[in-house]
Chains A and B, each alone.
Chain A
């Protein structure tokens, strides 16, 4: 399996992701977005409140990452964040993982996540050889 050595940056999102917080967060994130092929993971486990500006900020970060041939993945979504992403129909645009570790690992392989999951499933379903 192919691997890469570029760093994956994990950022924890603030509790409230409204217009002001989104701007502040984005301001802090600008240097990371500007690099070549950025690999970002946003941990949304702390998010209690997410509004339209917050969702737009996530979409903006994803599009900026894609422009530079990188990617943005979301991890550990809180219930509040998950409901808001579902409401705004944006949950299908992001790759979403249970934990930040899973999201970071997903960058390390060449295979897309769906194929990797399938391979894992096949590996598990092989019965152990009897001694």
Chain B
């Protein structure tokens, strides 16, 4: 029997404050919910998996960067999302395909494909729908040849389908992934082994997973359960504890305590801080205890790590011999153009001479104070 799957990812079910991607595409303990679901389906003999992903704000969204490598996918604007999904079903249903699974993320669930298909075949109805505690889930099982039934599901936006459907009771793990709280709960469930899927990386000691190329400096403490993603950096004196996940390329600076939090990829937390009960990333901190999301513009507290910092380094390193040769071969120009000389003099005076405001403020010099804060505990 040939089983194929069509996974739809749109932000309609998410109440997230992180606008760049739907929650199903954000990494949790090393991999996204979509990635984990695809792997699970492939392990359960699903021959082909296709994903249709709704493109959010084109300036912010870069879905390709969040997707698992090798996944067959289409990224489409919101207005063409359901139409494209319908066409994708028609493509998947061609040929010898017996059954197509329609799954919308939204919710992450650990589906037992064999039981679902068995239920579908025994139910003798054209459509089977997964249920959890009497509420329907966004998972359908449809015969590949039943295009009209599938079309009715897409046109109702997974609300219903024409005719009756067989209910399939889902007994495995399920997480709504509707907001930051659900994302955090997903990480906690994974680290406390309530899910079948595991954090990616090596379990260096019970309850502590570290992905390859993660840098944990001497003096940093990882208290189980915790996860540190690939190329992440935990600096000296930092403490990562209570089901915290530090995703790939994220950084925790000296002396900072990260507790019961998720630090999203390419985020950095400054030195001497206390990040607790939060999902932090993309310049925002969603504090789950207070139910508040705060935009942080101060890079000394919370910021972004450059995604292509390494590339920039090697690029400038490769140009070094050429620049060196230019410096040797060309005589140095000792006189600066007048406007540049003036600009440099102004810049120096701005840095060294106190302004009228500074004089009025007396001893207070915030720039110095911030520098002191950087080495907080010392």
A interface, CB within 8 angstroms of B: 18-19, 22-24, 26-27, 30, 49, 51-53, 55-57, 59-60, 79-80, 82-84, 86-89
> Is B274 within 8 A of A87, CB to CB?
yes
* Residue in A26, A59, A89 whose beta carbon sits within 8 Å of that of B274 in the complex: A89
- CB-nearest residue of chain A relative to B276? A86
Beyond the given pairs A49-B297, A89-B274, 20 more chain A to chain B contacts, judged by CB atoms under 8 angstroms and listed by A's residue number, are A22-B366, A23-B358, A23-B364, A30-B360, A51-B296, A53-B298, A56-B366, A56-B370, A60-B364, A60-B369, A79-B292, A80-B292, A83-B287, A86-B287, A87-B273, A87-B274, A88-B273, A88-B301, A88-B373, A89-B272
Contacts A51-B298, A56-B373, A57-B366; is A86 near B357 (CB within 8 Å)?
no
B interface, CB within 8 angstroms of A: 272-276, 285, 287, 290-292, 294-298, 300-302, 357-358, 360-362, 364, 366-367, 369-370, 373, 376
> Is B360 within 8 A of A27, CB to CB?
yes
Q: What would 8 A/B residue contacts be, using CB atoms closer than 8 Å?
A: A53-B366, A56-B369, A57-B364, A57-B366, A79-B290, A84-B296, A87-B302, A89-B376
Complex Cα–Cα for A57 and B366 (A): 7
Complex Cα–Cα for A51 and B298 (A): 6
> Is B274 within 8 A of A86, CB to CB?
yes
* Residue in A51, A56, A83, A89 whose beta carbon sits within 8 Å of that of B285 in the complex: A83
> Is A23 within 8 A of B370, CB to CB?
no
- CB-nearest residue of chain A relative to B298? A51
- CB-nearest residue of chain A relative to B269? A87
- CB-nearest residue of chain B relative to A20? B357
Q: Which residues of A contact B273 (CB under 8 A)?
A: 87-89
Closest 7 interchain pairs by CB? A79-B292, A51-B298, A56-B369, A53-B366, A83-B294, A89-B274, A80-B294
> Is B295 within 8 A of A87, CB to CB?
no
> Is A82 within 8 A of B290, CB to CB?
yes
Distance between A97 CB and nearest chain B CB, rounded to angstroms:
17
Q: Which residues of B contact A19 (CB under 8 A)?
A: 366-367
Q: Which residues of A contact B369 (CB under 8 A)?
A: 53, 56, 59-60
Complex Cα–Cα for A32 and B298 (A): 28
Q: Which residues of A contact B274 (CB under 8 A)?
A: 86-89
- CB-nearest residue of chain A relative to B270? A52
- CB-nearest residue of chain A relative to B372? A56
Complex Cα–Cα for A64 and B30 (A): 47
Distance between A34 CB and nearest chain B CB, rounded to angstroms:
9
Contacts A30-B361, A30-B362; is A87 near B292 (CB within 8 Å)?
no
